[in-house]
Each structure stands twice: as structure tokens, then as C-alpha cells.
Chain A
Amino acid sequence: MADTNPPRVMVLWIPDWPVVAARESGLLPATAPIALVARGAVTACSAEARDEGVQRGLRVREAQSRCPQLVVQPHDPAVDARAFDPVVATIEERVPGVEVLRPGLAVMRARGAARYYRGEARAAEELVQALGAYDARLGIADGVFAAEQAAYRTGVQQRSLTVPAGASAQFLAPLPIDALDDPALVALLKRLGAHSLGDFAALGAADVLARFGASGELAHARAAGHDPRMVTARTPPRELDRVVEFEPPLDQVDTVAFGYRTAADDFIAGITEAGLVCTAIRVTIAAESGAVTEREWAHPRHFTAAEVVDRIRWQLQGSGGALASPIARVQVSPERVDAISHHEAGLWGHAPDERIHHGLSRIQSMLGHEAVATAVAGGGRMLAERRVLVPWGDAPPAHAVQLAGRPWPGRLPDPPPATVFEQPRPMLVLDASGSTVTVDDRGVVSADPVWLCRESEAGRSRITSWAGPWPVHQRWWDAARRRRAHRFQVVDERGEAWLVLLEHGSWWAEARYD
């Protein structure tokens, strides 16, 4: 099977990449034990945390009990991918044809590099030195799987490990079966008595295919040192980001925005040249104090240079009126791009939409980004929750759309009220003797409501008809957001209809049918 021997490849691995990336984004301390979590379990942890017994897959509570000073942060895969990009760019300067297996793990063909640097060991040394800022490890072997395993078996002193050509099978044979990244298969093989990759590789390929199917056959080929995977090099993307550094840092919003104007023209020109349009950008603003604000801005169509400058201004204004610290650096990167041909104006143009967008953007520049909104239906039992405002140009939040699709049993019967108070207004509902109407724990009204008193108006009006109480009990398990209230519909003698809410003994107007 010598002709099917896989090609020589190099795998570059940076241990604990999610932690390195999170630290680079500037939010986490450099030395404290750190754990990144997703869905209540640890997905990555720093070496300090590992020394205390924290490991992947542990529940957060268990991890915190093992290491009380643990800094816990939600894991954001987008940060990992974004931070790995400059690393890949650095590798590409030394060795072309890089494939990213996952953030923190890149693979490249070894042959060309070995010839250029006169030897695989020298090529490895060159890469380790180029990535001096990181703890980069290299494994060189036949096939991606063997090289990956070699990289995992390096140390801080010995940063690279070379498995000689044709020796991958011997290298892999003593490794534990857990190296195969397939928990179900690994558990089964252990029960069958195969505890090392060599034990598994010794089985007949035809038997493995018959017993474990195609995925088992692939794992078997890997264990035997015949990983069929090829390196599919990525095409290096164009550099479209534009960074402006201010020296000395600027402390006025307008001067910062003005200072970015030529860069914004350049940014849009670069995108247009690449045959693209940008429908979302990411603006990263670094202050002199080291604080970094980052935000994604979407656009209903695509950005022009003036609009990019507007977003920078809004982001600066959004951080609270005057700037807390002078601004040292502004970076704009394209977040979503689309082919320019999809956005070509029709023969007669898109005049009406264009005009509306222009007019509304003008109002936004007067009043601020949040001031102009469209509404989408939200989900929830309280009426104010069912109205979600989306600033003009932004995409509706995904969770709101998701909540709106749920059935919400027990919601108000139609027609919905025309006025829904953003903040409930205080009210009083009295019985015939003039005392406040209450509802007891069994949901029984103390007396018929007879009088309605509004805070804004003196005097009271007689209630002619009413219905209720309709209980609203929600999230009893959540101390901060639980609600226990009773709703009533009341109509007074003037024909005004209200939706009133009794919560913790006080009455509120939730909405008005006007």
C-alpha cells in the first residue's frame, strides 16, 4: 500500500486557543484561571484552571467548586475564528496553502516548505519563531491525523515533533484509543478490548467495515496511519479592513468621525473593487484608556462611505454623551458582504425605497440611531413585551421572532388595545364603599369594582361593566422576573375601556382601548 501513503503534512496547533482568543479581545485577566462555558458546561479552560482540576465538559458549578477564583465567561466561537485570522495570515506569509481545521488548528502541506527551508525541522522552527507571541506547536507526519496527534504530543521545551516518513503507523500504534474523536466508537472499542490505536489497526479492514460502517472504516484507516484526508488550501481573502490610529488621541466625536472620512471612502472603494457590497460592518473603537467598544451595524441595502462615518459617530455617541477617554484607534471591518451584481439598481431604479431610506436616515442623524424604529411582533404575556422596536436598518432580534412564533395560551382575547403604555400608569379601582378592590389567594374578588380613579385626573368615574380577574402568573421559578398579577377589563360611564392590572395590591393601567 505504499502508493496510497498519505502526503507529508504539517499541523500547527495552539493549545487552549479559545482562552488565548478571549484574552486577546482584552476582557480577561492575563494570568487568572479562566473557563469558557457554553450551555452550563466548560468548553475551554486556561492552564492555571487545569492545574486546579478544571477540565473540558465539567459543569460550571463543579468547576467553580474545584477552583473558587475561576473567571467564567461565555464562549463565543466567532471571537475564536476572528482572532485566528491574523495567525493564519502570518502562517501564509511563510508557508502557502493553509487549511484551518478549526480555530487554533491549521494544517498545510510539508513538501514545499521543507524544500524551501531545507528540511522539515527548519520549516517548523521558522513557523514557531514567526508565531513567537503564541505557544505554537507543530507536528509533521504522513497524513493529517498522525500529524495532529504528533502536535498534541509536543511540550513547552520541544515545540515540534517530526514523525519520519513511513513511520506514522508505528507512531500511532501505542497511542490510546481516545485519540479518535468519536466518543461512541471509542466506548465500544474499549469494551471490545481495543485500548490502543494499534489494537484497532490490527483488525481486518473488511471486518471493520462490516461491523462499524463507513465512519468506522475511516477511523480504522486513520488509526493505521492511512488518513485519506487531503489538505484543501484556502484562498487568502483580500484585506478589506481599514484602521485609523489617532496620534494624539482625539476627544471630540466630530473630529474622530471626520478623521475617518478618507479611510471610509477607501474602505468602500476597496469593497467595490473586489466586486462586493457590504451589508453589515463591524466597528471597533479603542480608547486611550484601553477600553474597546465593538458593535455590528447592519444596513437595509448596503453601506456608502458617509453611512460608515455615521455609524462610527452613533457608536461614539451611544457610549454616553461625552467621551470618557480620548479615542486612539478606529477599525471598520466588513461583517457581511454580497456580490455587487445582486444589488444592481434596476433599469428604472429603486427610487421610492431609496428616498424613504434617505429621509429616515436624516431623522436618525438628527435624533440618534434608536429614535427611528419599525415594530415587529414579540412574544410574551404582558402587552408591552409583545411590541419589539427595531432601530431602522437593524435586523430584528432572533429571540424576539422566535418567541412570537409560540402559542402563548391565555393571551388576551381580541381586539388588542390601541394604546399600550410603555410604563404602566398608576390607577385606583374602588368598591361601592370606597375601599380598594383586592383579589385573594384563591382568585376571588373582594367586592364588585364600582369606581375608577385615574392619577392624572381629579374625581372618579363609575364603572358600568367589567370582567376579571384573569390571572397572569409567570416565571415563579425566577426571583428577578416572576410576576403574579390579575387583569381586569373595565368600561366606565364615559364609554372608555381600560385594561387594568392588580399587582402586589396596587392597581395599574396596562393599556387603553381608545
Chain B
Amino acid sequence: MLLSAAAPLTDAPSVRDQLQDRIRSMQATRLDERALPMLPAVAGLIPGGLRQGSVYSITGSTTLAMALIAAPSAQGAWCGVLGLPDFGTEAAAHWGIDLDRLVLVADPGRRWMTVAAAMTDVLSVVVAHSPERTSPADASRLAARLRQRGSTLIVLGDWPGADARLRVVGSGWSGLGHGYGHLTHRLLEVQADSRVGVHRKQLELAG
């Protein structure tokens, strides 16, 4: 990531964070990372694919998270959902996620970190709502644990040090008129911000 010219140089923590991000991104290439399967609808969204032991953050869409975990779940991986009491399980089943192997923890209370660590210990992919506050130290400790266990964390919201940040920058629906029809197709424009650069991709998610 390049230093933005607009950022004042006196803002020491932000400069330090950005430098640390850069160091991490240069360190993080390993050979033993294995990619998880992805649905054709979202293939190519993340450069390098969805990898075991990585953290991804998504802003602006729960559906996107469902689409990402659908293929691993259909192939027999155990998935978890943390801190999302409103997670639509019917939509999850519609995407092909196996509900028998989907574990929901709606309210971790104040023990977000402990519960997230316990879940990622045993489940292959965990979708979690970001906690109110995360210190970079906690985040990197969890990331180390993920790398060791080979499980993937998808955070809905901000997460310091995510391997890729997916942000919905445009969304449109078809099928709905003025007083008639119903929602059928969705057009999503997603910006993926990872260590290899910024990519934009248009996805068409059918109903």
C-alpha cells in the first residue's frame, strides 16, 4: 500500500501502522498455504483465492460472506458464525451451505476473542461480526493461531491486518419495478484491497 499524500506525516501511529502493514505483506508469502474451493460466482474475487490460515474482512454484505463459505461447506468443511444473531439461515441453505455443519454462536458477550479463538480451533471457516474494539496485538495473536490451525476467518466489518479487504462499492438489483415484480438478480461491485494491489470486480449473484 502506498502512503497517501493527503495523510499528514506528523500522524505517527498511522504511518507506523502503514509501514507495519507493508512489512507484514512482504513477509506473508508462504508455500504451505492451501486454497479453499470457491463458487464460480465469486471465483477470482480475491487474488490468490480464499486461503487457509488467513483473515478477510468484508464491508457491506452478508451475502458475499455466505457465497464465500458455500463451496467449502458443500465439500464437507465445518463452518461457524459468530456474533450475528440475524444471520439468515434460509439464505445460507439456499447458497448450498450445509446447515448440519454450520455452528452459530449468536452472542459471545464480552469474550469475543476467546470464543473466536475456540471456534477457529475446531472449525475450518468462521464468519464473525467484528467486535467493538480490537487491538492490533490481539488481532495478530489470533492471526498467528489461525495460521497454525489452518482455519480461515471472515470478519464482517473492520479488522486490523486483514489479508484482503473486500468492500461493496456498488450494488444494484433487477426484477423489481414500480409496484410489481420481485427481486431476482443482484449486481455487486466489489473492491478487493490486498497485498497485490486493488482490484475491482463485478459479480452477478442470481436468486
Chain A residues packing against B (C-beta within 8 Å): 355-356, 358-360, 362-363, 366-367, 371-377, 383, 386-387, 389, 392, 413-422, 445, 448, 465-468, 489, 491, 494-497, 511, 513-514
Query: Complex formed: what's the CA distance from A216 to B169 in Å?
Result: 80
Q: Contact between B173 and A374 (Cβ–Cβ < 8 Å)?
A: no
Report A-chain residues with C-beta under 8 Å of the C-beta of B60: 514
Which residues of chain B are within 8 angstroms of A371 by Cβ–Cβ distance? 105-108
Which B82-117 residues sit within 8 Å CB-CB of chain A? Answer: 85-94, 99-100, 102-109, 111, 114-115
Residue contact B62 to A419, C-beta cutoff 8 Å: yes
Q: Are B179 and A448 in contact (CB under 8 A)?
A: yes
* Residue-wise interface mask of B (178-196) relative to A, using a CB-CB cutoff of 8 A (1 in contact, 0 not): 1111111010000000000
Instruction: Give 30 A-B contacts (CB < 8 Å), ordered by A residue.
Output: A359-B118, A359-B123, A366-B111, A367-B108, A371-B106, A371-B108, A372-B103, A374-B102, A374-B103, A375-B99, A377-B93, A387-B89, A389-B104, A414-B94, A414-B207, A415-B183, A415-B186, A416-B88, A418-B66, A422-B85, A445-B179, A465-B178, A466-B176, A466-B178, A467-B176, A467-B180, A491-B173, A491-B183, A495-B173, A514-B61
Shortest Cβ distance from A332 into chain B, in angstroms? 27
Q: Are B107 and A387 in contact (CB under 8 A)?
A: no
Contact assessment for A420 and B178 in the assembled complex, using a CB-CB cutoff below 8 Å: no
User: Is B63 interfacial (CB-CB < 8 Å)?
Assistant: yes
Interface size on B, residues (CB 8 A): 51
Complex: A359 Cα to B114 Cα, angstroms: 12
Which of B90, B107, B123, B186 is close to A356, meaning CB atoms less than 8 Å apart?
B123
Bound Cα distance A344, B183 (Å): 51
* B-side interface mostly: mixed
In the complex where A367-B108, A448-B179 touch, is A418 in contact with B63 (Cβ < 8 A)?
Answer: yes
Contact A356 B122 (CB under 8 A): yes
Residues of B contacting A414 with CB < 8 Å?
A: 94, 207
Given A367-B108, A418-B66, A494-B171, answer yes or no on A387-B88 (Cβ-Cβ < 8 Å). Answer: yes
Q: Is B78 an interface residue (CB 8 A)?
A: yes
Give min CB distance, A468 to chain B, whole Å: 7
B189, closest chain A residue (CB): A495
User: Which residues of B are at the interface with A, using a C-beta cutoff of 8 A?
Assistant: 60-63, 66, 78, 85-94, 99-100, 102-109, 111, 114-115, 118-119, 121-123, 170-173, 176-184, 186, 205-207
Judge whether B63 and A514 touch: CB under 8 Å.
Answer: yes
Q: In the assembled complex, how far is the CB of residue B62 from the closest CB belonging to chain A, in whole angstroms?
A: 4
- A465-B99 contact, Cβ under 8 Å, with A367-B115, A415-B91: no
Asked if B94 and A419 make an inter-chain contact with CB atoms under 8 angstroms apart, the answer reads: no
Known: A356-B78, A374-B100. A418 touches B88 (CB 8 A): yes
- CA–CA, A375 to B107, complex, Å? 15
The answer to whether A363 touches B119 (Cβ under 8 A) is yes
Extra contacts, 18 of them, besides A373-B104, A414-B207 (Cβ < 8 A), are A360-B122, A367-B108, A372-B103, A372-B104, A372-B105, A374-B102, A375-B89, A387-B89, A415-B94, A415-B184, A418-B61, A421-B86, A448-B179, A465-B181, A489-B182, A497-B173, A513-B173, A514-B61
Whether A367 touches B99, Cβ cut-off 8 Å, given contacts A416-B94, A466-B178, is no
| Residues on the B chain within 8 Å of A514, using CB | 60-63
A180 to nearest B CB, angstroms?
51
A313 to chain B, nearest CB (A): 18
Task: Please tell me if the beta carbons of B118 and A386 are within 8 angstroms of each other in the complex.
Answer: no
> Which residues of chain B are near A358, meaning CB under 8 Å?
122
Minimal Cβ-Cβ distance residue in A for B76: A352
| Closest CB in chain A relative to B158 CB, distance in Å | 17
- Docked Cα-Cα span, A362 to B173, in Å, equals 43
Report yes or no: A420 in contact with B86, Cβ–Cβ below 8 A.
yes
Closest A residue, CB atoms, query B60: A514
- Alpha-carbon distance A491/B170, docked complex (angstroms): 13
Q: Are B176 and A375 in contact (CB under 8 A)?
A: no
Whether A417 pairs with B115 at a CB distance below 8 angstroms is no
What CA separation (Å) do A510 and B153 show in the bound complex? 28
Q: Contact check, B122 vs A376: say whether CB atoms are below 8 A apart.
A: no
- With A356-B78, A496-B171 as known contacts, state yes or no: A420 contacts B90, CB within 8 Å: yes
Inter-chain CA distance A427–B62, complex, in Å, is 21
Contact A513 B183 (CB under 8 A): yes
- A150: shortest Cβ distance to chain B, in Å? 56
Contact assessment for B172 and A495 in the assembled complex, using a CB-CB cutoff below 8 Å: yes
In chain B, what residue has the closest Cβ to A449? B179
Return chain A residues, CB-CB under 8 Å to B89: 375, 377, 387
Residues on B with beta carbons closer than 8 Å to the beta carbon of A419: 62, 86-88
Question: With A and B bound together, what is the CA distance between A415 and B106 in angstroms?
Answer: 23
> Given A374-B104, A415-B207, A416-B88, do A495 and B119 touch, yes or no (CB 8 Å)?
no
CB–CB A374/B91 < 8 A: no
Cross-chain contact B103 with A387 (CB below 8 angstroms): no
Contacts A374-B102, A514-B62: A387 and B90 contacting too (C-beta < 8 A)? yes
- Alpha-carbon gap, A440 to B126, bound state (A): 46
Q: CA separation between A376 and B98, bound complex, in Å?
A: 10
Report the separation of the CA atoms of residues A245 and B4 in the bound assembly, to the nearest whole angstrom.
Answer: 71
- CB-CB under 8 A for A417 and B103, given A489-B176, A514-B60: no
Q: A383-B88, A416-B88, A495-B173 are in contact. Are A373 and B106 (CB under 8 A)?
A: yes
Q: Are A413 and B182 closer than 8 Å at their CB atoms? A: yes
Q: How far is the CA of A421 from the CA of B106 in the complex (A)?
A: 12
Report which residue of A367, A422, A494 has the largest number of chain B beta carbons within 10 angstroms of its beta carbon. Answer: A367
Which residues of chain B have C-beta atoms less than 8 A from A467's C-beta?
A: 176-177, 179-182
Q: How far is the CA of A415 from the CA of B70 in the complex (A)?
A: 15
